[in-house]
Structure 1
Amino acid sequence: MFRRRRRDDEPENVEPTDEETVADEPAEPDEEPAALPHGGPWDSEADKVPEMERVDFGAIQVPIGEGIEIQVNVEAVEQDAQGNPVGGRIVAITIVHGESGLQVQPFAAPKKNGIWDEVRKETADEIKEAEGEAQEAEGPFGKELHGMVPVAIPEEMRDQVPAEIAEQGFGWQPVRFIGVDGPRWFLRGVLSGAALEDPEQAAIMEQVFQHIVVVRGDAPMPPRELLELSLPAEAQQAMNAEQGGEGEGDRPPLNPFERGPEITEVR
């Protein structure tokens, strides 16, 4: 997971954009959502959204299948005695397949202008300010960003990494940022793990990202504000029952979701 920083390849320059973010506006009732050229991710109001089993997290619906696990990234207000979040809000959804992870976040965007160009440049600048590396590349969804970012090493994992990395307290983790501008929304994905080197794993995670459905809603929102994510009704009921002490014996927790790592954040 953690690697030494590679300095043999200089990152390419990321060209700035001259576009300005404009205030969001409600969609016109008779206006059709713009078609995405790569066939997904999908807008909930689009025609002919491929039918498949998905988990409903409010602002996004995530496809599931064999070998896929889903984690919920929670920004906690406080923690209980076991370190679990109490209160707080869901800030991201992470899809896990084998040794690969895909963290996704949906944001509000202007009606006419996408924000991926700006977000991509800002993310590259943040990585470089942290003495990491970032370079643009072409991918199945258009422009994407490949980075090497510093990640803190948990105390319990320091005996599993080289001594020089354990001593400095952090390692360099490769990540791949993908993004798609939709009608009044922006969906960002952060790929990590085996999918960065294994084409088959990458294809699986790309297909998951491609088949996500974004539910933007009609409420006006400022650009870049995180769209509201929520637990599916069944999971929320199970979690409430577990917190209410309705479980019996050594039955495993009913809540199928766990917190996952928050890799980066867009402000």
Structure 2
Amino acid sequence: MAEQEPAAPTRESGPWDADEPHPESDRIDLGGLRLPHNPDFDLRLASLGDQHVAVVVIYKDTTLQLQALAAPRSSGLWDDTKTKIMAQAKGQLEEQEGPFGTELHGELKADGNVRPARYLGVDGPRWLLLGVISGKGAFDESIAGAFVEYIKDVVVVRGDDPMAREAPIPLSRPNEQSAETEAEGPGLSPFKRGPEISEIR
């Protein structure tokens, strides 16, 4: 019996849901997220307690933090999340239109430091992919644009398990032999200490 050809994607770009037709490529499998290979990017896993909750992508002194959150089947989560981030930022962020719709842009002041930040949200079927670009490249299109192209090829694996609204979709290491180093990351909250970060390669 001949193998069935994969269905062609119905959109030009992602991020993709694992259950929808999407381009097949050699991605890094982290469980809840499958990330495209880019030799220019350094990847780290961010953990809270014993759970891996986000990926930090480092490129030219700028970071992209990616986190997939469980969302209701009936509606998207980005509008609510955006409102919460705006309230925390207390006027330091403003809405702008970007490649995925409405984004938040600004410079966040915390602990005496100022850092450019750009928040991107993409609603999928029962998930929200939240991206935070932090650092001087947040508004340098040669850097931010590279991150946007990266996000367009991410695959989100929501799974069928029941999950609370806004719960992080769990991530896992591609293998258990990776060396670990700890660092402090930007965190998804503008003003709270970030999760612990460890190398995954």
| C-alpha distance in structure 1 between counterparts of 2:157 and 2:10, whole Å | 15
Q: 2:109 aligned with 1:145, yes or no?
A: no
Question: Shift of the alpha carbon at 1:148?
Answer: 2.2
- 2:86 corresponds to which residue? 124
Q: Which of the pair has more CA radius of gyration? A: 1
User: 183, 187, 190: which is aligned to 1:263?
Assistant: 187
Provide closer, same or farther for how the CA distance between residues 230 and 265 of structure 1 changes in structure 2, counting only shifts above 3 A. Answer: farther
Q: Contact between 2:15 and 2:153, CA under 8 Å: does it hold in 1?
A: yes
The residue type paired with residue 13 of structure 2 is G
The RMSD of aligned alpha carbons is: 2.1
- 2:47 corresponds to which residue? 74
Question: Shift of the alpha carbon at 1:71?
Answer: 1.0
| C-alpha distance in structure 2 between counterparts of 1:227 and 1:260, whole Å | 21
Q: Contact between 2:115 and 2:136, CA under 8 Å: does it hold in 1?
A: no
| C-alpha distance in structure 1 between counterparts of 2:183 and 2:124, whole Å | 27
Provide closer, same or farther for how the CA distance between residues 213 and 259 of structure 1 changes in structure 2, counting only shifts above 3 A. Answer: farther
Q: Contact between 1:43 and 1:182, CA under 8 Å: does it hold in 2?
A: yes
The residue type paired with residue 73 of structure 2 is K
| C-alpha distance in structure 2 between counterparts of 1:38 and 1:114, whole Å | 21
- 1:46 corresponds to which residue? 20
Q: After TM superposition, where is structure 1 displaced by more than 4 Å over at least 4 residues in a row?
A: 35-38, 256-260
SS of residue paired to 2:87: helix
Q: Which of the pair is proportionally richer in strand?
A: 2
Question: Shift of the alpha carbon at 1:195?
Answer: 2.6
Q: Contact between 2:43 and 2:58, CA under 8 Å: does it hold in 1?
A: yes
| C-alpha distance in structure 2 between counterparts of 1:109 and 1:38, whole Å | 23
SS of residue paired to 2:166: coil
| C-alpha distance in structure 2 between counterparts of 1:37 and 1:138, whole Å | 20
Provide closer, same or farther for how the CA distance between residues 199 and 172 of structure 1 changes in structure 2, counting only shifts above 3 A. Answer: same
User: 135, 154, 169: which is aligned to 1:227?
Assistant: 169
Question: Shift of the alpha carbon at 1:52?
Answer: 2.5
| C-alpha distance in structure 1 between counterparts of 2:16 and 2:181, whole Å | 24
Q: Which of the pair is proportionally richer in helix?
A: 1
The residue type paired with residue 40 of structure 1 is G
- 1:32 corresponds to which residue? none
The residue type paired with residue 177 of structure 1 is Y
Q: 2:74 aligned with 1:112, yes or no?
A: yes
> 1:113-172 deviations in whole A, cap 9, x for unaligned?
0010111011000110xxx511000000000111322333xxxxxxxxxxxxxxxxx212
Question: Shift of the alpha carbon at 1:50?
Answer: 1.8
SS of residue paired to 2:66: strand
- 2:140 corresponds to which residue? 198
Q: Contact between 1:71 and 1:258, CA under 8 Å: does it hold in 2?
A: no
The residue type paired with residue 114 of structure 1 is G
Question: Shift of the alpha carbon at 1:36?
Answer: 8.5
Q: Contact between 2:134 and 2:186, CA under 8 Å: does it hold in 1?
A: no
TM-score, with structure 1 as normaliser: 0.63
SS of residue paired to 1:228: coil
TM-score, with structure 2 as normaliser: 0.82
| C-alpha distance in structure 1 between counterparts of 2:128 and 2:66, whole Å | 10
| C-alpha distance in structure 2 between counterparts of 1:260 and 1:143, whole Å | 28
Structure 1 unpaired stretches of 5+: 1-34, 77-87, 153-169, 239-253
> 1:186-233 deviations in whole A, cap 9, x for unaligned?
11000012432321111111011111100000111121111111111x
The percentage of aligned residue pairs carrying the same residue is: 34
Provide closer, same or farther for how the CA distance between residues 194 and 265 of structure 1 changes in structure 2, counting only shifts above 3 A. Answer: closer
